[in-house]
Structure 1
Amino acid sequence: MLTQDRPIHLGSDETVSRWVWFKVWIARLIFRGSFAEWFDREMNHSGINILDSSVPSARFLTQQLLISVLRGRKSATRRLKRKVSCRSVPPCMANIEAVSSHMPSDQSESHDIVFFGLFRSPKGLGQIARSRLAALQTTGLRSARINIEGIDDYLHISGTEDVVNSDEIDNKAILFANPDIYSTLDMYTKRRFWRSKYRVGEWYWELPSLPAPWRGEASKLHEIWVASEFTRQSVAAVHTNVRIVAPAISVRLIDKLEAKRRLGLPEESFTVLTMFDLASYAARKNPLGAVQAFMDAFPLARSEQRATLVIKTHSSTVDNPTAREIRRLAALDERIVIMDSRTDQGAIDFVQSACDVFISPHRSEGFGLILAECMARGKPVIATGYSGNLEFMSAENSFLSPFRLVDVPIGAYPHAEKQVWADPDLDYFVDSLRLIYNNPALAQQRASLARENIESHFAPDVVGRAMAKAISEMGGS
């Protein structure tokens, strides 16, 4: 434990020479909850009065800098410069590169809503949080964002300003994060969000019943937003004020042949796409079902059928049974292409644009963002006819597989005891793949209806109006 007779200063030689030791201790302090006590002691030792308004947000700035240190010294400096500039630099920041003399104001009354979210994360919750900001910007409402620190928040974003620090109490605030990370939020985010007059959480869940730990968090919120009727039914069991507010879907359209050339895929081949994360709970996405459906629909023996299965994933090198089996099948069939790369929107744009059909034999979805994106690109989609994707999929605009409900296997998903999910009919996927291959006109007819549906109900301006209405109906004034 760090003690007062062994102070740590960011600019000291000891910090440089014992960098690994420093990072370990900072991590322990943060996660053991003793960070605040130590920080106050260090501020006092440095002669900084954290209540002195002439040193705005000294405590928060240094706290964020120390958290950033876990990612490396260069990152720490960049993040500090990006977050804020101030007139007075505490001694413990003396070695940080010069920052400008202006600090953006943060008066809560200048914002109609304050967003808290994983805005720099490339994953689904980060993507949806960014889409929320883009949608609201179409309405003229004034918003500000506070980024939640995450281990994969490497994306650069622009637009709505990051709020740095404030002792004001926000009128209305929305937290785009599931309750399982509430306890890991940094102290400033916790303090600011929970002091807001009207607090909204946006939750995503993929099973019929909510996890027991989430139920206690529900009582602290005035309202909960969800993306689908499927999730609304789960959340409504623990909260009386649940509102469906769909995510905004906006995609960059790229010519299919151009995308195939960019990715090195055969231009004349019928390209089937599926996407999932092998390092997560892959069973919910049912990746082996997707591979099996492709291999049954286009057997190797029928050489006249030129088809390619693209598996867009990351962490394909992880050592678990699903990943090992997919690598084995790909080694046996050169038509199976594994694209393993860090997820970013540019890569997703090209891989989705290159496909002729997207398949998702999922067992359950809270919404199904990837499916909606492919439909927005005018791609035919074959998916399980169960859960949140029914918010935008129907028999008229897509290919929905029959299913039966089965118990979730032990260990297949968190908080899944006594829960059920779908077991899709893979024969339907096989037949639909062959139908789309042999009858592209029918496939395109449904895909066109799908794109029209997404544009009509999930475009940023449409979602922005729905958000503005929901915000206007919030309490907190």
Structure 2
Amino acid sequence: MGFSKLFLNAGEALRPVLTKIIPMKLLSKMKAGIINNATDKLSADSIAKYEPGKYKQGVNVIGNIKGDNGLGQSARIMCRLLDENNEVHVIRDFFVPPGGSRTNETYDDRLTTELPYDINVIHVNASEFMVAYLSLGKEVWDYRYNIGYWAWELETFPEEWLPAFKLVDEVWTPSDFVTNTLKKYTDKPVITVPHCIAPVTDEKYDRKHFNLPEDKFLFLVMFNSGSVMERKNPLAAIKAFKEGFCKDEETKKKYKDVGLVIKISEAELSTDDEKIINSVVDKDDNIYYMCGHLNKTEVNSLIADVDVYVSLHRSEGFGLVMAEAMYVGTPVIATNWSGNTEFMNSDTACMVGYDMKELDKDYEPFKKGNLWADAHVDEAAQFMKKLYEDKEFYNKIAVNGQNYAKEHLAYKRSADIVSDRIRKIHGVFDKEVH
């Protein structure tokens, strides 16, 4: 426990240099070693069973609240869901290093290290849940009802993560896609609490702000290097763009007012991503490359500034950026598989067909032999051209997508799911006590 805490709790101060001096693969191995060692020592009765009355009724939200990545956004969404129905809760910022950039200040004035309530909702994925247990300490788990909010992108759950189920009383997920996968591995409750969105944009973050041309029809591809580039699959989107608009000089001339924006976040987490992208991009392809940190309002505004968002992902646990694009009225071209299909269809987005493909090697944490989707590039290219050339079709997708996102991804729906679950947890155990 001592070494683990030292290694993990030093993360905040060391985060800016960790990824420069320690390769990501080595960091992963170090964490894996901690997890495996702790797992061997964890027995079924290691954590004291939930004891109603030991703590006040309410929720402790624990997660990477300041994180600029999807995990951080997920934790902040939970805070807002609890606010929506005035559920009593506190917020504790916690991350597993290196953690990515951490500049979000939304809940800075509410952060605390105190955990006074009887339900923990812990936004740490299963892969690092044991590390969280070691870092935070057993006392955080003892006598509380522990809920892990987990996302995962495949239909097979890694065997080495199964011990994480020992650390929870139940699991919440952002989509039925994830829920259905996890239910195959546990008898504990697994509840879908869909992500919700209400992206804020600012007109000052216009194309000029991002040094993007104002006279071109722009597609956007965006991914975080920490999310595994092979899964996000930007190369397929680049290939589709080139097939549709850049396959020869005559085509380039015809579509000279069409461009592609490639935005990479957290590029320091994978030094190879930029090199791979640059190797397939020609200087005269009207492709605009962006790398570096943007605040959340800038990201939302960038999505609104472009004409189309493209995600030919191989798998998504939910797909927050696609949902946000729909919300701000930007049409989406997306792979028709995994979590995103729960909030988009052929009426609200351009859904691209796919073939299921077996991974030919490990793409940590995705293992060789598992399956994920391989989007049809030619179909994506056709959608790109249709959105550019057919204004009526463009407007239909934009309006339908926006209307659906605002109605079905509103906070109240998921807030009620959370409130109902809290009532049931307290109700069941109150009856046991009395």
TM bucket, shorter chain: 0.7 to 0.9
Out of 162, 165, 172, the residue aligned to residue 218 of structure 1 is 165
Q: CA 1:159/1:278 → structure 2, altered by over 3 Å: closer, same or farther?
A: closer
1: distance between equivalents of 2:200 and 2:374?
Answer: 33
Q: Match for 2:216: what amino acid?
A: S
Do 1:116 and 1:148's aligned partners in 2 also have CA atoms closer than 8 Å? yes
Out of 155, 158, 177, the residue aligned to residue 124 of structure 2 is 177
Map of 2:79 onto structure 1: 133
Do 2:124 and 2:132's aligned partners in 1 also have CA atoms closer than 8 Å? no
How far did 1:188 drift?
6.4
Map of 2:355 onto structure 1: 404
1: distance between equivalents of 2:54 and 2:229?
Answer: 42
How far did 1:148 drift?
0.8
2: distance between equivalents of 1:132 and 1:397?
Answer: 26
Percentage of pairs with the same residue: 23
2: distance between equivalents of 1:183 and 1:419?
Answer: 24
How far did 1:395 drift?
1.1
How far did 1:30 drift?
5.4
How far did 1:310 drift?
0.5
Out of 144, 151, 157, the residue aligned to residue 204 of structure 1 is 151
Residues 419-428 or 109-118, more deviating = 109-118
Q: What is the SS of the residue equivalent to 1:332?
A: coil
How far did 1:389 drift?
0.6
Q: Does 1:454 align with 2:402?
A: no
2: distance between equivalents of 1:298 and 1:68?
Answer: 45
Give the alignment's TM-score, normalised by structure 2. 0.81
Q: What is the SS of the residue equivalent to 1:339?
A: strand
Do 2:202 and 2:297's aligned partners in 1 also have CA atoms closer than 8 Å? no
Out of 409, 422, 432, the residue aligned to residue 471 of structure 1 is 422
Out of 294, 304, 318, the residue aligned to residue 241 of structure 2 is 294
Q: Match for 1:156: what amino acid?
A: E
1: distance between equivalents of 2:72 and 2:307?
Answer: 27
Q: CA 1:196/1:390 → structure 2, altered by over 3 Å: closer, same or farther?
A: farther
Q: CA 1:280/1:458 → structure 2, altered by over 3 Å: closer, same or farther?
A: closer
Q: CA 1:366/1:294 → structure 2, altered by over 3 Å: closer, same or farther?
A: same
How far did 1:259 drift?
1.7
2: distance between equivalents of 1:315 and 1:219?
Answer: 32
Q: Does 1:252 align with 2:200?
A: yes
Do 1:275 and 1:311's aligned partners in 2 also have CA atoms closer than 8 Å? yes
Q: CA 1:281/1:197 → structure 2, altered by over 3 Å: closer, same or farther?
A: same
Residues 390-399 or 215-224, more deviating = 215-224
Q: Does 1:390 align with 2:338?
A: no
Instruction: For structure 2, list consecutive stretches of 5 or more residues without a partner in the other structure.
Output: 17-52
Q: Deviations over 1:261-286 (max 9, x none)?
A: 22121112000001113455211111
Map of 1:277 onto structure 2: 224
Q: Match for 1:459: what amino acid?
A: A
The aligned runs of 1:335-354 (5 Å cut-off) are 335-354=286-305
Instruction: For structure 1, list consecutive stretches of 5 or more residues without a partner in the other structure.
Output: 1-28, 37-62, 73-106
Paired residues in the alignment total 383
Q: Does 1:118 align with 2:64?
A: yes
2: distance between equivalents of 1:114 and 1:316?
Answer: 32
Q: CA 1:161/1:278 → structure 2, altered by over 3 Å: closer, same or farther?
A: closer
Q: What is the SS of the residue equivalent to 1:116?
A: strand
Q: Match for 1:281: what amino acid?
A: V
How far did 1:155 drift?
2.7
Q: Deviations over 1:155-198 (max 9, x none)?
A: 323277323246x6x42111111122123327562334321431
How far did 1:216 drift?
1.6
How far did 1:258 drift?
6.2
Map of 1:155 onto structure 2: 104
Moved over 6 A (4+): none
Do 1:123 and 1:343's aligned partners in 2 also have CA atoms closer than 8 Å? no
Residues 236-245 or 458-467, more deviating = 458-467
Q: Match for 1:233: what amino acid?
A: N
How far did 1:131 drift?
1.4
2: distance between equivalents of 1:432 and 1:221?
Answer: 43
2: distance between equivalents of 1:262 and 1:111?
Answer: 47
Do 1:175 and 1:202's aligned partners in 2 also have CA atoms closer than 8 Å? yes
1: distance between equivalents of 2:191 and 2:236?
Answer: 33
Give the alignment's TM-score, normalised by structure 1. 0.74
Q: What is the SS of the residue equivalent to 1:330?
A: coil
Out of 302, 311, 321, the residue aligned to residue 262 of structure 2 is 311
Q: Match for 1:447: what amino acid?
A: A
2: distance between equivalents of 1:292 and 1:113?
Answer: 46
1: distance between equivalents of 2:15 and 2:231?
Answer: 31
Q: For the pair shown, which has the larger CA radius of gyration, 1 or 2?
A: 1
Map of 1:17 onto structure 2: none
Q: Deviations over 1:55-89 (max 9, x none)?
A: xxxxxxxx97x7655469xxxxxxxxxxxxxxxxx
Q: Does 1:194 align with 2:141?
A: yes
Do 2:130 and 2:164's aligned partners in 1 also have CA atoms closer than 8 Å? no
How far did 1:358 drift?
0.7
Map of 1:355 onto structure 2: 306
Do 2:231 and 2:313's aligned partners in 1 also have CA atoms closer than 8 Å? yes
Q: CA 1:339/1:173 → structure 2, altered by over 3 Å: closer, same or farther?
A: same
2: distance between equivalents of 1:254 and 1:162?
Answer: 26
Q: What is the SS of the residue equivalent to 1:171?
A: strand
Q: What is the SS of the residue equivalent to 1:411?
A: coil
How far did 1:295 drift?
1.0
Q: What is the SS of the residue equivalent to 1:262?
A: coil
Q: What is the root-mean-square deviation in Å for CA atoms of aligned residues?
A: 2.7
Q: Match for 2:160: what amino acid?
A: P
Do 1:173 and 1:196's aligned partners in 2 also have CA atoms closer than 8 Å? no
